[in-house]
């Protein structure tokens, strides 16, 4: 794991998955590595540890949000429809699809990344043209896509940012999701039948709506689940703390995450995201995405800056400096919303709490 900048879920949580597999005696769909109940436990955690060769392994919570949504998502993947996770950017749709794939199939890297340049060949299969010209169409000359691999081996295929793809590329999924068959007309009798365990998890940002709208035919092949932003400051602070700790460790920085700073950051992001403060004031909402993922990034950047340049903890100056890029990402005019937030909200709290006082003094960087 030390040789990977970002270990996949099946590597990062390998001990938990091994312990759950060793304990799991529940009913499971064909070719699944865990039963639905144990996949739920893996994703949302549980109080009771699992035993791995006599060692107690804690089963930690990895997704914070609607636990019932997790159950519905797992049951969807056990059926004949694909799963489509939609929501605002930064709501952990990708992380959830990775966790589901790792628990079901033991791999989360069988992934198609949707872009404006994604073609039907990239989704289904392509060819090694040197071999194709030399010997003609053959299985040896065929270059399988992640979707092809998923069908052949009976594993989950992740399709990230599906609405970024052209509509004709998206629609190449329709017959595959309906019939679980991929036709390969270049090969004599070329038909690939999906093995049990195959399914597709798609993700799409609702801010991309209208970019390449999914056809109604394709929508019918998916069950849609909306992943909503965190609505609780304490829960959001927990996520920021846990993810920032992991990211800093993977960057070779072993320093404690400052809970007080994390709570301040979580409060700021939630209030700017919802347009309402805990005192009940209405405030301007920036156009930029003020997601939990963005808050994690701000904290990590601030901690790294302080670590390398000040050799100390996160300062409010560094926090505000790194916040500017997030707020002004869509439009520099959004800095006005941040200035107003400091002038009205942070200023009022500054006289009540030392950390908010230091935070208000860092307003000079806006």
Model confidence at 202: pLDDT above 80? yes
Model confidence at 25: pLDDT above 70? yes
In a domain, residue 266? The reply is: yes
Tokens describing residue 101: 């794939």
Looking at the structure of the chain, the number of domains it has is 2
Mean pLDDT across 142-148: 96
In a domain, residue 263? The reply is: yes
| 199 and 245 together in one domain | no
Mean pLDDT across 109-133: 93
| 76 and 219 together in one domain | yes
pLDDT band at 2, cuts 50/70/90? Answer: low
**What local confidence, expressed as pLDDT, does residue 107 receive?**
97
In a domain, residue 22? The reply is: no
Range of 81-90, 191-200, 245-254, 287-296 with top mean pLDDT = 191-200
- What Cα–Cα distance (Å) separates residue 170 from each residue in 110, 146, 157, 327? 17, 15, 14, 32
Residue 242: what are its φ and ψ, rounded to 5°? Answer: -65, -45
The stretches of the chain forming alpha helices (DSSP H) are 9-12, 14-23, 36-44, 67-78, 93-105, 120-123, 129-135, 146-153, 167-170, 174-179, 216-219, 233-250, 259-274, 292-305, 316-327, 335-341, 347-350, 354-361
pTM of the model: 0.88
pLDDT band at 7, cuts 50/70/90? Answer: confident
| Cβ–Cβ under 8 Å, residues 147 and 194 | no
**What local confidence, expressed as pLDDT, does residue 207 receive?**
77
Q: Which of 78-87, 122-131, 297-306, 322-331 has the lowest mean pLDDT?
A: 322-331
| 215 and 263 together in one domain | no
| 154 and 294 together in one domain | no
**What local confidence, expressed as pLDDT, does residue 89 receive?**
86
Model confidence at 209: pLDDT above 70? no
CATH number at 159 reads 3.40.50.300
Q: What angle do CA 98, 118, 177 make, to 5 degrees?
A: 60
In a domain, residue 322? The reply is: yes
Rounded CA-CA distance 331/66 in Å is 32
Residue 127 β-bridge partners: 142
**What local confidence, expressed as pLDDT, does residue 188 receive?**
85
What is the domain range of residue 314? 233-365
In a domain, residue 15? The reply is: no
**What local confidence, expressed as pLDDT, does residue 352 receive?**
87
Residue 84 β-bridge partners: 202, 224
**What local confidence, expressed as pLDDT, does residue 182 receive?**
96
| 151 and 256 together in one domain | no
Q: Which of 171, 192, 226 is the last residue of a domain?
A: 226
| 245 and 302 together in one domain | yes
**What local confidence, expressed as pLDDT, does residue 230 receive?**
86
Model confidence at 22: pLDDT above 80? yes
| Cβ–Cβ under 8 Å, residues 108 and 9 | yes
In a domain, residue 48? The reply is: no
| 83 and 182 together in one domain | yes
Q: Which of 191, 210, 226 is the last residue of a domain?
A: 226
Residue 100 region by backbone torsions, left for phi larger than 0, else alpha for psi between -120 and 50, else beta? alpha
In a domain, residue 11? The reply is: no
Model confidence at 1: pLDDT above 70? no
| 216 and 239 together in one domain | no
| 261 and 299 together in one domain | yes
pLDDT band at 211, cuts 50/70/90? Answer: low
In a domain, residue 57? The reply is: no
Tell me the pLDDT of the chain averaged across its residues.
92
Closest CA to 85 of 205, 225, 253, 186: 225
| 202 and 102 together in one domain | yes
> Residue 333, Cβ neighbours under 10 Å: how many?
10
Q: Which of 200, 226, 252 is the last residue of a domain?
A: 226
**What local confidence, expressed as pLDDT, does residue 108 receive?**
97
| 220 and 264 together in one domain | no
DSSP letters along 154-218, please?
T-EEEEETGGGS-HHHHGGGHHHHHHSEEE-TTSTT-EEEPPTT-EEEEEEEGGGTTTSPPPHHH
| 222 and 246 together in one domain | no
């Amino acid at each position: 794991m030390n040789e990977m900048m970002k270990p996949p879920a099946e590597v990062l949580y390998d001990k938990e998955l091994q312990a759950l597999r060793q304990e799991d005696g529940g009913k499971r769909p064909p070719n699944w590595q865990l039963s639905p109940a144990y996949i739920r436990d893996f994703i949302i955690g549980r109080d009771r540890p699992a035993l791995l060769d006599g060692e107690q392994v804690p089963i930690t919570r990895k997704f914070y949000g609607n636990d019932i949504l997790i159950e519905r998502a797992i049951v969807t993947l056990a059926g004949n429809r694909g799963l489509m996770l939609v929501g605002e950017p930064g709501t952990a749709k990708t992380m959830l699809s990775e966790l589901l794939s790792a628990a079901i199939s033991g791999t989360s890297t069988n992934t198609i990344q949707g872009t404006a340049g994604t073609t039907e060949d990239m989704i289904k299969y392509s060819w090694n043209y040197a071999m194709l010209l030399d010997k003609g169409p053959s299985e040896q000359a065929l270059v399988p896509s992640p979707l092809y691999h998923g069908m052949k081996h009976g594993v989950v295929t992740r399709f990230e940012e599906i609405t970024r793809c052209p509509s004709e590329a998206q629609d190449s999924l329709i017959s595959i999701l309906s019939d679980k068959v991929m036709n390969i007309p270049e090969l004599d009798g070329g038909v690939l039948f999906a093995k049990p365990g195959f399914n597709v998890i798609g993700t799409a940002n609702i801010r991309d709506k209208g970019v390449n709208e999914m056809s109604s035919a394709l929508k019918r092949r998916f069950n849609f689940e909306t992943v909503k932003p965190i609505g609780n400051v304490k829960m959001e602070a927990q996520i920021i703390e846990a993810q920032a700790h992991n990211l800093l460790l993977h960057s070779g920085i072993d320093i404690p995450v400052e809970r007080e700073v994390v709570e301040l950051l979580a409060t700021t992001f939630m209030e700017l995201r919802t347009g309402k403060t805990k005192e009940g004031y209405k405030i301007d909402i920036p156009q930029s995405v003020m997601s939990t993922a963005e808050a994690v990034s701000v904290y990590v950047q601030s901690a790294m800056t302080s670590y390398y340049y000040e050799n100390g903890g996160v300062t409010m100056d560094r926090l505000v400096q790194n916040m500017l890029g997030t707020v002004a990402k869509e439009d520099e005019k959004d800095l006005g919303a941040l200035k107003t937030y400091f002038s009205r909200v942070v200023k009022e709290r500054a006289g009540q709490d030392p950390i908010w006082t230091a935070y208000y003094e860092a307003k000079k960087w806006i």
